[in-house]
Amino acid sequence: MTIPEVPRSAADAPSAVGVPSAAPAIGAVTVRLPRAVLIANRGEIAVRIARTCRSMGIRSIAVASDVDRDAAHVDACDEVVVIGGAAPADSYLDVAKLLEAARRSGADAVHPGFGFLAEDARFARAVIDAGLTWIGPSPEVIAAMGDKLEAKRRMADADVPLVPGEELPEGADDAALLAAAQRIGLPVLVKAAAGGGGKGMRAVHHLDDLVDAVAAARREAAGAFGDDRVFLERLIGRPRHVEVQIVGDTHGQVLHLLERECSIQRRHQKVVEECPSPGIDGEVRDVLTCAAVDAAAALGYVSAGTVEFVVDEDVLARRRAGEDVPAREAVAFLEVNTRLQVEHPVTEEVVRVRDARTGVLEVIDLVRWQLLIAGGWRLPATQSDVVGIGHAIEVRLYAEDVPAGYLPATGTLSAFDVPALPGIRRELGVRAGEVVSPHYDPMLAKVIATAATRAEAAARLATALEASPVVGVTTNRDLLVAVLRDEGFLAGATTTAYLDDHLDDLLAAVRPDEGTLDLASLFAAVHATAAARPSAAVLPGLPAAFVPSGVLWDQHTFTAGDERPARTVRVRGRRDGRLEVEVLHAVPAGFLDADGERRLSARVTVHHLDAHDLEVEVDGHRRRVQVHAGADGRVQVVRPGRVPITLQAVPRFPERGQEEVAGATRSPMPGVVVAVAAQVGDQVAEGQHLVSVEAMKMEHRITAPQAGEVVEVRVAAGQQVDADEVLVVVEPVGSAAPVG
């Protein structure tokens, strides 16, 4: 059988299997589609849902906070209702405002997307009680699976393999916590009983850290989910994170749509996902998928969902070595996500369902299936009709500073794009010009590559990321490229410890060398000089930087954002139309014709120039690049097949620096202070916890930069702080008292 070409996006496919025709056969189930769907979310998932609604002839209604009035998801929908302030509690988490938005817009259904209220049983019940169709599983199932303790009890009854763990009684004292951890055996994982997404989770390897970890997990869980209950679970030493996509209809049928591997994570949040898993064998796959279907059937699960597991890599290694180890010993249940997953596109790109009438393998659209199932649709296939074709890999592009510990980053996106290359699917949640604020999750986009083989999918995805300009906000793009090019990743040697174990090597692999920085600085300077010439007030037709005397240089200075010396690039026009360019090290800003170590000297011909594109010939070598300059002075040089280079333009007359405070501990990002653990007069050790700041739905611990005495505490719990704001001042022991 000839398999049709894989569409770039499942939602753009010409048809979806089982979509009811205008004249259903006698005895067929009548499907009632919604007329208008309120999308109770924002970002790329709202854009994604709106796209499918449009393909089905369903009106889509966006909701937006005050700061999201001009966001990408607003334009993707047919209309929008503005529902409140920037804080999620005042907008996207306000049930009353969401229901009122549905009433005002005439919506008859609500799709929650993922995050926010997607797994809130009270919201689902409120939607149903308001006479609207809820696009998701029943409130009862959401409540049971949203409570991870209840979920473990239900899975035990369904004979699904579990990770050993213990509940923590309400009001358990420190001694009870320590005793529970000792019974389970270190290391343990503190987990929130409610919610997900890595929030309210702490790994504990030493008993001395347990009490603080439980307290921090409780605070984070209470802030994210309104429920501070936590429990302990054994931390498997070398796990893979593998999950199974399940779908159930209202007629009692459940299908699994194969598995996804999501082992590459930071802070217990996924970064890279793929289908199928490269690390498990067929028997383990059978155990996983059968356990997932058993779990869903036991719950009476309706709609799309995911059953998550940990798979012990040590057991897998023993099986690969030929040991007769039962496949079930490798598998343990984690949780059920009662919603559409962030990573659902990799399933849509790979899984096909055989049409019973024609025998043709059809693409699927999980959002479409959710909408149809909510209207009474019967799943169109049996398990034997589900087929996997090829390989898909997804990466999550986050606004975060990886070397600084994955700290969330904020700013205005001067440039943002992912090219529409063959085999690439883009799920974009923002666009150029938008502000990335501290109020919401830092994910900017998902990029998915599909190919016949895993190696080809990884190469396609890395190439697409390398061609993606992102200026104005620090992101994890370069790390993602390094992962996709890494030999260990390409060999499938990935566990949840992959990033922790390999981060330094991955960052080093994409760190530009000196010659690369020289060329990038040259391209940035030539583009700036050549682009400025046509708008010159005097003699705009002359070559860039040209004067009759031939001695005036146009000068630009750039840093690479690290400890390496700044590069000053001097550009001068020649009578033949070419440019003379010199790249120098360590030339002070503001000084023309100053001496410095010469890194590069070249004659350059500009063949093409526009707002961002530059085609230049440097000493006979012709190149095409893109140059994107941001309002904050950041300049990004994008070259085909190479990691983009981000430079910081140094102003000729730098502004006065920020307040210098000896011993100051500063906030690494804008956020809200959620806890202050230090008081004036405290004696603290280096690395001791001082303040916790919450930003982008994650709590960040700020620690003492040195041992000494706390002489100032400038913040209090609940206070909003800016990036680089002084929080606490620690005076080294034996130093002089502060002045003033």
**pLDDT tens, position by position, 531-556:** 876 544 444 554 555 445 454 678 89
Does the CA dihedral 157-160-161-162 come out positive or negative? negative
CATH code given to domain 35-134: 3.40.50.20
Average pLDDT for 592-608 = 79
What's the CA gap between 279 and 491, in Å, rounded?
9
Please state whether beta strands 443-451 and 424-428 pair in parallel, antiparallel, or not at all (unpaired).
Answer: antiparallel
Q: Side-chain half-sphere of 574: how many Cα atoms within 13 Å?
A: 11
The phi and psi torsions of 25 (rounded to 5 degrees) equal -65, 155
Q: Determine whether 300 is exposed, middle or buried from the number of CB atoms within 10 Å of its CB (0-12, 13-18, 19+).
A: middle
Please state whether beta strands 133-134 and 109-111 pair in parallel, antiparallel, or not at all (unpaired).
Answer: parallel
CATH code given to domain 664-732: 2.40.50.100
CATH code given to domain 164-234: 3.30.1490.20
- Does an H or E element contain 335, and which? strand 331-337
Q: Please, which residues bridge with residue 242 across strands?
A: 261, 309
Q: What is the model's pLDDT at position 27? A: 44
Residues with Cβ within 8 Å of 339's Cβ and at least 6 positions away in sequence, in order, are 112, 113, 114, 118, 119, 136, 304, 305
pLDDT at 598 over 70: yes
Looking at per-residue pLDDT, the higher value among 733 and 319 belongs to 319
> What is the CATH architecture assignment of 390-511?
2-Layer Sandwich (3.30)
Q: In the structure, what pLDDT confidence band is assigned to residue 594 with cuts at 50, 70 and 90?
A: low
CA dihedral 75, 76, 77, 78 (to 10 degrees): 70
- Residue linked to tokens 């699960």: 301
What's the CA gap between 424 and 163, in Å, rounded?
37
Average pLDDT for 660-684 = 85
pLDDT tens digits, one per residue of 635-647: 999 998 899 999 9
- Does an H or E element contain 52, and which? helix 43-55
Q: What percent of the chain has pLDDT over 70?
A: 89
Average pLDDT for 121-137 = 98
Domain 514-649 has CATH 3.10.20: no
pTM of the model: 0.84
Q: Contact at 8 Å (CB) between 68 and 138?
A: no
Average pLDDT for 391-399 = 98
Query: Which of 735, 693, 740, 696 is CA-nearest to residue 717?
Result: 693
Round the average pLDDT of the chain to a whole number and report it: 88
Looking at per-residue pLDDT, the higher value among 217 and 655 belongs to 217
Strands (E), 479-551: none
Extract the tokens encoding 7.
């569409």
Average pLDDT for 725-738 = 74
Q: Contact at 8 Å (CB) between 712 and 700?
A: no
Domain ranges of the chain: 35-134, 164-234, 390-511, 514-649, 664-732
pLDDT tens digits, one per residue of 614-637: 999 999 999 999 999 998 899 999
Average pLDDT for 164-189 = 91
pLDDT at 25 over 70: no
Alpha helices per DSSP H over 203-302: 210-225, 282-299
Considering only the C-alpha atoms of the chain, give the largest distance between any 2 of them, rounded to a whole number of Å: 90
Extract the tokens encoding 361.
């393998």
Query: Which of 142, 39, 138 is CA-nearest to residue 374?
Result: 138
